[in-house]
Structures are given as C-alpha cells and as structure tokens.
Amino acid sequence: MIVRFWGTRGSLPVAQKADVVRDKVISALMASNGLAFETDDEAASWLDENLDFSIAGTYGGATSCVEIDAGDEFIVCDMGSGLREFGLNAMARCASAHARTYHFFLSHVHWDHIMGFPFFVPGFDPGAKIVIHAGHADAEEALRRQQEEISFPVPFDWLKADISFRTLLPGETYRIGSVDLSLIEQQHSHSSYGYRFQDADGKVAVYSTDSEHKVNRMEGEADVVAFFRDADLVICDTMYSLADTVAMKEDWGHSSNITAIDLCHEAAARRLALFHHEPTYSDRDIERMHRESIRYEELTRFSEPLEVICSYDGLELKL
C-alpha cells in the first residue's frame, strides 16, 4: 500500500507569501555560509542534510485529500483542494493503462473536504466511473449544492463521468478490489466518519480527520482505540496543540497531537501522521509541534515505539 498526501491543511487552503519565502532563502544563504556547489545535486544533498524542513520546504496549503493506492482502482479520502492535483496526476496514470474508476470516501461534507470536486478533471471524462462513498446520506445534496449557479458556473449535471453515491454504515465491512474497509462515526459538527483500510498484504491505514477526542475522557474512547488497533499508519486530526485545545478550542470539533499520540499508544499503532494542519500555523509552528510530538511520544511510550511523522502536501508513504 502506498499512501499519498495531496492536501494536508485544515479548514482553508493557504499559500506561502513572498516575505515568508524570502525569509527561507535568507536562512538558507546564511546557513550555507559562503559554500560553493558544483552541481544542483550537490546543493540538494547539502540542503537535505543541513536545513530544517520548515526552511528547505513547506508543509503546503491544500485542504484534505489522501490517496490510498492499494489496487487496480483509485481510492481517495476526501475532496479538498488537493484533489485538483490528484486529478491531473490520475489522468496521466490512466493514459498509461490505469483503471478509470475512482472510489471516494468522505469524512464529512464540510466545505474544506469537498471544495476540490468542481476542479476534478476526471469528472469530465465520459469513460470514468466515480463512486462517492459516505457515511452521510446528504453527501449528494452537498456536492450538487456547491455547484449550483449562485456559487459555481459549471452545474453538477454537466459532468460527463458515470457518478454514483453510496451511503455506508458503521460496523459493516466493505470491499473495493482487494481492499477491505470499515468506518466509525466521530465527534464533529454534523458528524464525521473515520475509515480503516486493509490491503491484501494485511497492511492497515486509518484516515481519521475532523474528529474531537475529549482530553480527560480517554476511557470513553475505547471504540476509537479498537478502530486504530495495530494500524500500520493512523492519519489523525491534530489541528491544534494541546495548549490551544484546552485554553480555547474545546468543542471546536478537532483534536491535538497529544491526544492522537495517547490514542495511538493505546491502540499499539506503528505510525501516526499529523494531519489537518491549522491554517494560521506557519511552517515553523508545525515543525515545532512535530518536534514536541516526537518528544511527548518518547516520554509516554509504554511498549513499542510509535513513529510520529508530520504529513505535508506531496508526501508519499509506503506501508
């Protein structure tokens, strides 16, 4: 199974402004301290070894969209603004014989999780088949509504692909090709759903975003722990630092890095990907939170280590 992150930002797409990029370049120049490089490759490897990711790169700013590549047909979690780039990439892969069937799994239908669909080019491919799976029975209404004339110039019915909707039930197991999946209802405004995917090799990836876990009520989270149990990767809503959650953002429908680590430890998961980054956080803020998360994981570990990674637009993980 390969997991590709096409969009990792929460709530609102963001882009790095000129002054931020300029600061990164200044930091890189200062760190290089007059070094001369013969080739691009030489410069690239110095950069990889010597600069923080927040200087040399960026976490990106497209909203939620994650591909689970585990079979002949496309499996995609959420349709945030990252979906546009996935669509273009998928068209190129279809040109070299990939099946033109797309299975979407929607966590919920808040705007940041569906805003990419009107820009999803395969939607205009008459040979494409699109199945939109959701725990919400009103997913079709939400997708049609965002393309009504008052909001968008291209109506949903102009799309040429064969599009269907399927409402899924928590507790059931479903199969797409050789992938088994199930879902769990989560705490969020108008509800959200987490998905657990298991491929033919037994590798498990969990996609759980826009989900609020109560900081002081871990015993009430037994169903979540069971859902995360022994996963090779858990992609988790870690929008806020714990301090933010406790100080002012309780009941906002999101969770912290600390809570996600506690849940993954309980569940003996192997890897956690921090996800749905707060749009006001800079690259440095997110990197600091990632470092604090690694430190917290080490301090609270009670059995096998949990690897904490920080997702970014363009990250690809092999399970």
Distance CA 271, CA 311 (A): 12
What residue is closest to Zn ion based on CB? 110
Is residue 212 at the binding interface for Zn ion, with CB under 5 A as the rule?
no
Binding mask 58-97 for Zn ion (x = CB under 5 A): ----------------------------------------
Task: Cite the beta strand spans of the chain per DSSP E.
Answer: 2-7, 65-69, 74-77, 101-106, 129-134, 162-167, 174-176, 179-186, 192-198, 204-208, 233-237, 271-275, 307-310, 316-318
Output the six-digit token pair for 292.
Answer: 């604090």
For Zn ion, which is the closer residue by CB, 54 or 186? Answer: 186
For Zn ion, which is the closer residue by CB, 67 or 125? Answer: 67
Distance CA 234, CA 142 (A): 27
Binding segment for Zn ion (CB under 5 A), chosen from 18-26, 103-111, 129-137, 261-269, is 103-111
Q: Kind of pairing, strands 233-237 and 204-208?
A: parallel
Residue of 110, 136, 203, 271 that binds Zn ion (CB under 5 A): 110
Neighbours of 222 (CB within 10 A): 10
User: Rounded to whole angstroms, what are the CA distances from 62 to 8, 41, 110, 239?
Assistant: 6, 28, 15, 14
Taking the complex as a whole, how short is the minimal distance between the CB of residue 188 and Zn ion, in angstroms? Answer: 6
Query: Is the CB of residue 52 less than 8 Å from the CB of residue 23?
Result: no
Is residue 125 at the binding interface for Zn ion, with CB under 5 A as the rule?
no
Neighbours of 220 (CB within 10 A): 10
Taking the complex as a whole, how short is the minimal distance between the CB of residue 109 and Zn ion, in angstroms? Answer: 9
Residue of 78, 210, 278, 297 that binds Zn ion (CB under 5 A): 210
For Zn ion, which is the closer residue by CB, 86 or 199? Answer: 86
- Footprint (CB under 5 A) of Zn ion, residues 260-279: none
Distance CA 128, CA 130 (A): 6
Taking the complex as a whole, how short is the minimal distance between the CB of residue 150 and Zn ion, in angstroms? Answer: 22
Binding segment for Zn ion (CB under 5 A), chosen from 109-117, 262-270, 277-285, 290-298, is 109-117
For Zn ion, which is the closer residue by CB, 112 or 232? Answer: 112
Residues interacting with Zn ion, by CB under 5 A?
110, 112, 210
